[in-house]
Chain A
Amino acid sequence: MSSVVVDALAPHAHPSAAGDGIAGLRLLVVVSLVVLTGTALLRPVAGAGRVVRWAAVVAGVVVVAGEWALTALAPRPQHVLASVVPLALAVAAVVVPWRRFAPVVAVGVTALALAEFAVAWSEAEFRDAALRTGVAALAWFGVARPRRSLHATAAVLAVAVLAGAAHLTAVDPRRPVPGVLQSREVALGGEAVRVLVAPQRPGWNLVRVTRGGIAAGAAPERLTATAPRPGTGGWWALVDLPPGRGSLWLRRGGELVALPVDTGSRRGPDVSGPDGPECADAVLGAWLAERVAGGCPADQLTGGDAEALRATVGFLAARGRRSVTLVADHSPRASAAAAVVHDALRRNGMTDSGGPVLVVAGWAAADRALRDVAAGRLPGGGSYLAPWLLTAPLLAIPAAQVIPLRQSPREPAALAYVAALNDRVPGAVATPAGYAAWRGEPDTGPLRLYAASLVTMGLGTSRHAHGGVTWFPGGGITPVSDGLTGDGVGRRWGTSRAAARSPLRKAPRRP
């Protein structure tokens, strides 16, 4: 249901469209809220004519529905009953002929709101439900015959609802959840900027923004310039955040904005190292699936990845290569991977002394190596990537990448991940780290080698390319091998398959 509203407000999923829609909706809700509470507060001195009653009830409906819509735009889904029940109660105030019972209903609905508010101490979702139910109660007070005994109740309720709903509406419906990654859009320098704070835990956090020239920090006087990180998209800054509620400050040019953050109390995974962005993406993937991330991917080599590396070496051996150029770094995963590769090289009678580049490093070192391959500084016949390097920024470097995978990124499961990513964090890059965390289990299926490359480049009238939901916009990730066995042997490599053809029909069919 929420996606319908999101689509309605942002039909093209462009950040500015969503921002404008939210701003307009907030304004409408605030105005309606003032009308509603004002009606309730002024009942002792105002008449109860048809216009007043209708104004009160319509305002109540607008506030309930608007609050629901604003909440739907937040990353946390809301239960439908938290909106539908208050909305039904508000609508009923005008269409159900219980005018003489309206005071009773109003008091009853107020009691329901109080009950929900009591539950809200432990379950935050009920807080919004309580406020909306309070608005519905006000609508009933608005249509009730003026009675002195109701004035105090209505006035107290009106003030409480006004304060709560105004805070909910005007401050921001997308409040940070303590200790949970935050992704949201802010207006900065006249542009919509998507900001990711990961893991939003006490200590070092990575902040990624979608525009350049932005500095970020925990205090206005301690801002760090964001900068691209090799092998990733966007601009990044490492920010030390204190426990609990606070603000992340962002400056672009002369404009300074504060983004509310709430880091909670528990420390998160360490994103301060060179593999921090990959770790942040794992947190992001888990967040998309509403689960808690495990450790950082670079902390260890999985069995599946080790098998893929062994198969890749076997493939190169079957292709007649006698050596490779291994590119690793100092992460635990890369060290373990290097050991696996060296062992496989030994088994295949090969060495690490030149030839095709086999990259088992993290994203940053991989980016450098691939650029060296593209420029001819690392010659030897293309590049073979570890499975965790299947990211668009790395594949877009023209370095003849080949990568072992168990599933095509065009399979439904992978596309569902990319779609979820696009929905919640527009512009984010699909990554194996995020996919694995989103999926919650390793890929299955036979290992195949895939060639990956851009197939098109920007040429023309617009830099505004629309690629839809795809792992690698503008590129192809295509299987080029049959299933690999552990030693990589699966077929004759580097030879056209046409040799095994059957005879052609020789008779010309067309004059």
Chain B
Amino acid sequence: MRGYASTRPWSTRGLVVAGVLLAVVGLLTAAVPAGHARVEVTSSSVVGTDGRTYRATNHLVPLPDRHRPREWLLAWAGDADNSRGTDPDFLAVIDATKGSPTYGRVVNTAVLSPQVGSEPHHMQYVWHAGDRVYAGAMFTDTTFVLDVSRLPEVRLTGINLGADTPCASVPDAYWVLRDGTAYGSYMGGPDVSGPCTYSNGETRVGNGFAGSPGGIVRIGEDGRTLSETPASTPDAELPELCGNVPPLPRPSCANPHGVQAREDLDRLLVSDFAEVRNYLDPDTVQLDPKLLRTTVRIFDIADRDNPKLVSVTPLPVGPRQDEAVFEENQMVMETTVTNRRHNKGAFAGTMAGGAIYYTPDITDPTPEWRQVFDNTAAYREFDPTGVLSGRLSGGSWLQTSPDDRYLFNAVMGSDPRLKPEQNSGMVYVLDIRRLLAAGDDPRCRVDTPDEVTGGGVEADCPALVDVLPIKGGVGGPKGRVAVGPHWGAMDNFERGRDGRYRETGDIKRLATANYFVAQTGIDGDHRVCVIEFDGRDGLRLDESFRDENDQAPCVDFERASWPHGDHGGARPHGVLFAVAAKHVR
């Protein structure tokens, strides 16, 4: 047996004791890994109409070649694991310059304060050089107006608060006009139940915040409300289709979500989604199809401050013969216009229905909408089992390419009746040239079961170019059920020989974000991906657009640390490509 005498010097043992104690205390009190050690902090602020100061605070990560022209991907994100309730919402600026050594790196987070938990939602669909960015926050009924001319730095130039739009609530998306102002689609009704008089002098009786009828708000570059216009007709709308809770004296389906415009045609389109605060019959507590929407609205915007409602058209039911709430025409999430001067058509896509509709002429006061595609046909490309279908597939971002050759559609894959392992999101591309070439008299119409699964048989029907399954990790971060992309954006820029960027109609890249709205139960794995596109080769995930931390493809917003600190995971909703003013022609 060995004796008890120690052979180690006292000083060593003392150090060991101190080390052990420090380790214990350290382990118990340790903070999460530190964020970026060095960031440049700048801020800008505006005073809201409530007298409070609102601020955008940049946290700019040093870049080795800061003055090199770059393209940026903006992602409007909210906090995801808000353990104290104080983690901020922010606009992430990601290096989207293909070939850059910092490709995929988050180089700035512009924190928007003091609001928290605002549920960042959409920005505009496409950013054009010189435009402000309009970024909406659903839960706080707020629109932020941001100057991105000095990217990666972002400046706050205006804010539109809930009380600035008393006749409308819950902003969804924006369409920026050539003069820099924007139309916002506001899904919800007036802040306070009862009559509300809009800026055009018309009055509607609404059933309150997040109810009906929604409105169209024109917002200036300084954030002020330029006009508020009712999205509803003066009279009762389609009483057999439109319900409201509490009931309105004149029922309305006006809950605009998607919004796009053709200024050359003086037309603005919005698609109605649902009375967002409630889809359930208050007595039966069952899904009520009269609270989900099937309508598309077209406004004459010759007077930009006084849009005049021209038509309210319900989309037709398709051939699937589902329950009413799952029919092809349910929950018209998006609408997208064609772009070239000789085309006058537009598309609409449905979330619960999982179908795409088309009308050839939006200047027609009585437009005819027809189904031209079912998401089921895209699913068949990679799901031979036939489990996945359009119904409840979560059709989302829908966008025509600027050259009117292609139609991009992001689908979440959010059928609650399927196991998470079975669901899958996707992005697919349709070739719409023949459909548009058919002019005012297209023949395409999906009206048989075979066309649901195989695409329309008429020669002018959209042709499926390619499908890219995007399936977030099932069981995802913190047990969330991951889904595919809800939102996306086209990269509408190309780099010239002089190194500067210019707009292009030839789309080579898309960006997508795997998140919808957590409280709906459709969350996602919070990744922002870049997809490469070529008309012949189709869609391909850009695996060089990698997360700076785990080095996996796509930027993961589930991370501990951001340039603005150790605030944990975030949920990216809207995405948008943009370029600094001095680097774009």
Contact = CB atoms under 8 A, between A and B. Distances in A.
Contact of B226 (A402, A501, A509): A501
A87 interface: yes
B203 to A, nearest CB: 8
Interface residues of B toward A: which range?
35 or more
A28 B505 CA distance: 65
B140 A410 contact: yes
B181 interface: yes
B80 interface: yes
A145 B283 CA distance: 79
A476 B304 CA distance: 30
A371 B191 contact: no
Contacts of A373: 246
Interface string B229-263: 00000000000000001110000000000000000
B478 to A, nearest CB: 5
Interface string A77-96: 00000001001100110011
B191 A480 contact: yes
Contacts of B179: 504-509
B317 interface: no
Contact of A95 (B2, B13, B140): B13
Interface residues of A, number: 92
Interface stretch (B115-123, B307-315, B433-441): B115-123
Contact of B196 (A416, A461, A468, A494): A494
A96 B17 contact: yes
B227 interface: yes
Given A1-B29, A497-B166, A451 B225 contact: no
Contacts of B138: 455-456, 476
Contact of B169 (A99, A410, A473, A478): A478
Contact of A460 (B13, B49, B140, B520): B520
Contact of B85 (A375, A460, A469, A501): A469
A453 B211 contact: yes
A400 interface: yes
A495 interface: yes
A509 B10 CA distance: 79
B391 to A, nearest CB: 13
Interface stretch (A47-55, A149-157, A273-281): A47-55
A383 B209 CA distance: 12
B457 interface: no
A497 B245 contact: no
A482 to B, nearest CB: 7
A97 B25 CA distance: 23
B498 interface: no
B197 A48 contact: no
A401 B29 CA distance: 44
A470 B117 contact: yes
A19 interface: no
Contacts of B34: none
B277 A398 contact: yes
Contact of B481 (A4, A102, A461): A461
- Chain A binding surface SS class: loop
Contacts of B276: 454-457
Interface string A108-150: 0000000000000000000000000000000000000100000
A419 B196 contact: no
A412 to B, nearest CB: 6
B282 A462 contact: no
- Chain B CB within 10 Å — which of A410, A419, A456, A507 has the most? A456
A504 B84 contact: no
Given A398-B211, A410-B117, A451 B480 contact: no
A12 B282 CA distance: 33
B208 A382 contact: yes
A96 B5 CA distance: 11
A387 to B, nearest CB: 17
Nearest to B275: A398
A400 B521 contact: no
Nearest to B176: A510
Contacts of A505: 179-180
A461 B416 contact: yes
- Chain A CB within 10 Å — which of B25, B116, B210 has the most? B210
A463 B211 CA distance: 23
A478 B162 contact: yes
Nearest to A68: B28
Given A373-B246, A400-B207, A455-B139, A480 B520 contact: no
B166 A494 contact: yes
A161 interface: no
A1 B166 contact: no
B128 interface: yes
- Chain B CB within 10 Å — which of A381, A419, A460 has the most? A460
A45 interface: no
A398 B245 contact: yes
Contacts of B115: 410
B170 A476 contact: yes
B278 A454 contact: yes
Contact of A398 (B161, B278, B481, B517): B278
Contact of B192 (A375, A410, A476, A494): A494
B479 A480 contact: no
A478 B140 contact: yes
A455 B276 CA distance: 6
Given A356-B194, A457-B279, A498-B199, A463 B521 contact: yes
B162 A480 contact: yes
Interface string A373-399: 111100101110000000000000111
Interface string B91-119: 00000000000000000000000011101
B209 A400 contact: yes
A495 B196 contact: yes
Interface of B: 1-2, 4-6, 8, 10, 13, 16-17, 20-21, 24-25, 28-30, 49-50, 79-86, 115-117, 119, 128-131, 138-141, 161-167, 169-170, 178-181, 188, 190-199, 207-211, 218, 220, 224-228, 245-247, 276-280, 282-283, 304-305, 394, 412, 414-416, 418, 420, 423, 478-481, 483, 516-523
Given A456-B276, A497-B166, A510-B128, 18 more contacts: A48-B1, A91-B20, A374-B246, A412-B86, A415-B85, A451-B192, A454-B276, A456-B119, A457-B280, A461-B420, A462-B420, A464-B481, A466-B518, A470-B82, A470-B85, A480-B163, A498-B218, A509-B130
13 contacts: A4-B29, A50-B2, A375-B245, A419-B85, A451-B208, A455-B519, A457-B519, A475-B277, A478-B209, A479-B50, A479-B161, A496-B165, A497-B166
